[in-house]
Amino acid sequence: MDKLIITGGVSLDGEIRISGAKNAALPILMGALLSDSPVRVGNVPHLHDITTTLELLGRMGVTITVDERSGVVIDPSTLTDTEAAYDLVKTMRASILVLGPLLAKFGTADVSLPGGCAIGSRPVDLHLSGLEQMGAKIKVENGYIRATSGNGLKGAHLMMDQVTVTGTENLMMAATLAKGTTTIENAAREPEVVDLANYLNSMGAEITGMGTSKIIINGVESLAGTQYNILPDRIETGTYLVAAAMTRGKVKLKDTDANQLESVLLKLKEAGADIAVGNDWITLDMQGKRPKAVNIRTAPYPAFPTDMQAQFTALNSVAEGSATIAETVFENRFMHVQEMQRMGADLQIQGNTVLSNGESRLTAAPVMATDLRASASLVLAALVADGATVVERIYHIDRGYECIEEKLQQLGAKIRRVPSSA
């Protein structure tokens, strides 16, 4: 198991390219199951979750070709098996996203109940009840969701009890081939959901309303192959912007989209950053100043994203002043706080809120990553800590950040990856 060794104290400076968004790539790759002919997806990030997804599709008999320009060609016409087995699903919650496409296209699916980050309950039952309303027969037995759709799925009016991104995506994919019209109320509005809808439309689906809380899908007979490039990763973008702000640096991020990040950019400006944006780039310059502490409350898009909460907790730990960060999306998402306390951060947890009193400096300590975004925040804290911090269990980071140490090295950070035994 690899670990990262980071020597803090360097102000980040330079430019890097942002990768495609993991959270858009996963549903888009699985959505290829709906097509009758090969699909080419571009700007696919090289991440562990992507490899798992391709392996999952490969096990079902789907033909996959990876080209050198971060593109993947998926030919679902060779599918032989509609089961998603536990050994792959357990590492990645997003595996549930094969359920909708398999049911819609092949009328049957056996999907193991998912695993992934331990950051709270995520309601799979919303996926299941939505599919049942569309006429699917579903049994959960021996840890598997066994679903059939007999004479095909039918359009339905679905009211989501709570906003769920993967639930919205799963039901939207299932609805593309259902008979009649499906309406999803209280739908997720995230850019990744919009990206999936645009992709499905490019295959011949009829989806409107994406990006609002009401998505309408008119079912079509079939979908055909397409070429589609995945949108940039807004969370990766946000993470590197925070890294620059914490180290009082200056960075330019290319191949990204500022429109997806309004709430995060607002908070960075509040923290004292000078920010400029173009069509596909963002620059941040702290002019050598220490950031100011900012109050944050996470909520579904377009509000402040839960996936940026840990990074701003790290920022607040070295910022000027006191602030609160309230987490309203996932319970149990403060596991990074304890590790930052070991580095000298003055942070207290009260219920779903973290209170911070910014310290002028942190000190290096051995720390352990617990989930994807938490581990990124520990890397950020290490960039500003005195001495060399060792971050263990970084397989979490590799699930969501492509080549994090290489990108940080390009910005001047002293960071290296070593095998744990070293």
Residue with tokens 């996926």: 127
Q: Identify the CA nearest to 230 among candidates 263, 191, 261, 204.
A: 191
Average pLDDT over residues 59-65: 96
Active-site residues: which are they? Answer: 117
Residue with tokens 């990645």: 92
pLDDT band (50, 70, 90) for residue 123 = low
Count of other CB atoms within 10 angstroms of residue 390? 16
What is the predicted pLDDT for the residue at 87? 84
Q: Are 272 and 292 in contact (CB under 8 A)?
A: yes
What is the predicted pLDDT for the residue at 403? 92
What is the predicted pLDDT for the residue at 114? 67
Instruction: Report the largest interatomic distance among the alpha carbons of the chain, rounded to a whole angstrom.
Output: 65
What is the predicted pLDDT for the residue at 288? 96
Give residues with Cβ within 8 angstroms of 213, minimum separation 6.
Answer: 185, 186, 187, 189
**pLDDT tens digits, one per residue of 126-154:** 889 999 999 999 998 888 889 999 889 99
pTM: 0.92
**pLDDT tens digits, one per residue of 10-57:** 999 999 999 999 999 999 999 999 999 999 999 999 998 899 999 999
How far is the C-alpha of 97 from the C-alpha of 106, rounded, in Å?
A: 15
pLDDT band (50, 70, 90) for residue 422 = low
Amino acid identity at 155: G
Report the DSSP beta bridge partners of residue 179: 154
DSSP string, 328-382: -S-TT--HHHHHHHHTT-EEEEETTEEEEE--S-EE---EE--SHHHHHHHHHHH
What is the predicted pLDDT for the residue at 90? 80
DSSP secondary structure letter of residue 46: -
Q: What is the mean pLDDT of the chain?
A: 93
pLDDT band (50, 70, 90) for residue 372 = confident
Q: What torsion, rounded to 10 degrees, do the Cα atoms 385, 240, 252, 408 define?
A: 60
Average pLDDT over residues 119-130: 72
**pLDDT tens digits, one per residue of 77-96:** 999 999 988 888 887 778 88
Residue with tokens 């000190």: 363
70 has a pLDDT exceeding 90:
no
What is the predicted pLDDT for the residue at 119? 41
What is the predicted pLDDT for the residue at 371? 83
What is the predicted pLDDT for the residue at 334? 87
DSSP secondary structure letter of residue 280: S
Average pLDDT over residues 188-193: 96
Amino acid identity at 222: S
pLDDT band (50, 70, 90) for residue 122 = low
Report the DSSP beta bridge partners of residue 285: 250, 274
Task: Please give the residue that has the higher pLDDT: either 75 or 2.
Answer: 75
pLDDT band (50, 70, 90) for residue 118 = very low
Taking the CA atoms of 126, 129, 135 and 137 in sequence, report the sign of the dihedral they define. positive
- What is the bridge-based pairing of β-strands 281-285 and 274-277? antiparallel
Q: Are 408 and 249 in contact (CB under 8 A)?
A: no
What is the predicted pLDDT for the residue at 112? 87
Residue with tokens 């299941």: 128
Average pLDDT over residues 321-342: 90
Q: Identify the CA nearest to 132 among candidates 113, 105, 115, 150.
A: 150
Average pLDDT over residues 173-195: 97
Name the strand (E) or helix (H) holding 56.
helix 48-59
**pLDDT tens digits, one per residue of 391-406:** 998 888 988 899 999 9
Cα 285 versus chain centre, distance: 26
Count of other CB atoms within 10 angstroms of residue 76? 25
**pLDDT tens digits, one per residue of 205-233:** 999 999 999 999 999 999 999 999 999 99
- End-to-end alpha carbon distance in the chain: 10
**pLDDT tens digits, one per residue of 273-297:** 999 999 999 999 999 999 999 999 9
What is the predicted pLDDT for the residue at 48? 87
